[in-house]
Homo-oligomer: A and B are copies of this chain.
Amino acid sequence: MKHPSAWRRWLPAVPLLSWGREYDRQTWLHDGLAALIVTLMLIPQSLAYAMLAGLPPEVGLYASVAPLLAYAVFGSSRVLAVGPVAVVSLMTAAAIGEHAAPGSANYWAAATTLALLSGLMLTLMGVLRLGFLANFLSHPVIAGFMSASGLLIAAGQLKTLLGVTMEGGTFLQTLSGLVGRWSQVHGLTLGVGLGSLVFLLWVRRGLKPALIRWGLRPLAADMLAKAGPVLAIALTTGLTWALDWQAQGVRIVGQVPQGLPPLTWPTWDPALWRELWPPALLISVVGFVESVSVGQTLAAKRRQRIDPDQELVALGASNLSAAFTGGYPVTGGFARSVVNFDAGARTPAAGVMTAGGILLASLLLTPALYFLPQATLAATIVVAVLSLVDFSVLRRTWAYAKADFLAVLATLVGTLGWGVEPGLVVGVAVSLALFLYRTSRPHIAEVGLVVGTEHFRNVLRHAVVVSPRLLSLRVDESLYFANSRALEDRVNDAVAQRPALVHVVLQCSAINDIDASALESLEAIDARLRDAGVTLHLSEVKGPVMDRLRKTAFLKTLRGQVFLTHYKAVCTLAPEIV
Question: Which of A's residues lie within 8 Å of B, judged by CB?
Answer: 132, 135-141, 300, 305, 396-397, 399-401, 403-404, 431-432, 435-436, 438-443, 453-455, 457-458, 461, 476-478, 480-486, 492, 509-513, 515-517, 519-520, 528, 542-544, 548, 551-552, 564-565, 567
Given contacts A139-B516, A454-B454, 8 further A-B contacts (CB under 8 A): A136-B440, A138-B480, A140-B516, A396-B516, A400-B516, A400-B551, A401-B516, A435-B436
Q: How far is the CA of A439 from the CA of B519 in the complex (A)?
A: 18
Nearest opposing residue in chain B for A454, CB measure: B454
Q: Chain B contacts of A517 at CB under 8 A? A: 138-140, 404
A141 to B140 Cα, complex, angstroms: 32
In the complex, what's the smallest C-beta–C-beta distance from A346 to chain B, in angstroms? 21
- In angstroms, Cα B512 to Cα A512, docked, is 11
Residues of B within 8 A of A480 (CB): 138, 435
A136 CB, min distance to chain B CBs, angstroms: 5
Q: Which residues of B contact A477 (CB under 8 A)?
A: 478, 512
Q: How many copies does the complex hold?
A: 2
Inter-subunit contact B137/A481 (CB<8 Å): yes
**Is the pair A138, B481 in contact by a Cβ cutoff of 8 Å?**
yes
A543 to chain B, nearest CB (A): 5
Name the B residues within 8 Å of A397 (CB-CB): 516
5 A-B pairs whose Cβ atoms sit less than 8 Å apart in the complex: A136-B440, A138-B515, A399-B551, A401-B548, A435-B515
Kindly report which residue of chain B lies nearest to residue A405, judged by CB atoms.
Answer: B516
Q: Do A565 and B455 touch (CB < 8 A)?
A: yes
CB of A512 within 8 A of CB of B481, answer no
Chain B residue at smallest Cβ distance from A508 = B510
Contacting pair A552 B400 (CB below 8 A): yes
Return chain B residues, CB-CB under 8 Å to A455: 454, 564-565, 567
Instruction: Look across to chain B and name the residue whose beta carbon is closest to the beta carbon of A565.
Output: B455
CB distance from A281 to the nearest CB of B (A): 15
- With A136-B481, A478-B477 as known contacts, state yes or no: A438 contacts B513, CB within 8 Å: yes
Of the candidates B140, B481, B483, B551, the one whose C-beta lies within 8 Å of that of A431 is B481
Task: Collect the chain B residues with CB atoms within 8 Å of residue A443's CB.
Answer: 512, 542, 544
Which residues of the partner chain B approach A440 to less than 8 Å between Cβ atoms? 132, 135-136
Cβ of B400 and Cβ of A519 under 8 Å apart? yes
Residues of B within 8 A of A435 (CB): 436, 480-482, 515
Q: Could you say which of A441, A453, A542 has the most chain B C-beta atoms within 10 Å of its C-beta?
A: A542
Chain B residue at smallest Cβ distance from A540: B455
Residue of B nearest to A462 (CB): B543
Contacting pair B404 A515 (CB below 8 A)? yes
- Is B509 a contact partner of A509 (Cβ separation < 8 A)? yes
B478 lies within 8 A of A439 (CB): yes
Q: Are A485 and B135 in contact (CB under 8 A)?
A: yes
Q: Which residues of B contact A442 (CB under 8 A)?
A: 512
For A519, the chain B residues whose CB sits under 8 A away are: 400
Q: Which residue of B lies closest to A396 (CB)?
A: B516
Give A134's nearest chain B residue, CB to CB.
B485
Chain B residue contacts of A399, Cβ below 8 A: 551-552
Contact yes or no, B135 A528, CB < 8 A: no
Q: Which residues of B contact A551 (CB under 8 A)?
A: 399-400
- Would you call A135 and B482 a contact (CB within 8 A)? yes
A399 to B, closest residue via Cβ: B551
Q: Which residues of B contact A441 (CB under 8 A)?
A: 132
Q: How far is the CA of A519 from the CA of B140 in the complex (A)?
A: 11
Residues of the B chain whose Cβ atoms lie less than 8 Å from the Cβ of A404 = 515-517
Question: How far does the Cβ of A461 sit from chain B's closest Cβ, in whole Å?
Answer: 5
Tell me the smallest distance from the CB of A177 to a CB of chain B, in Å.
29
Smallest CB separation, A456 vs chain B (Å): 10
* Inter-chain contact B513/A510, CB cutoff 8 Å: no
- Shortest A268–chain B CB gap in Å is 28
Determine the residue in chain B with the shortest Cβ distance to A543. Answer: B461
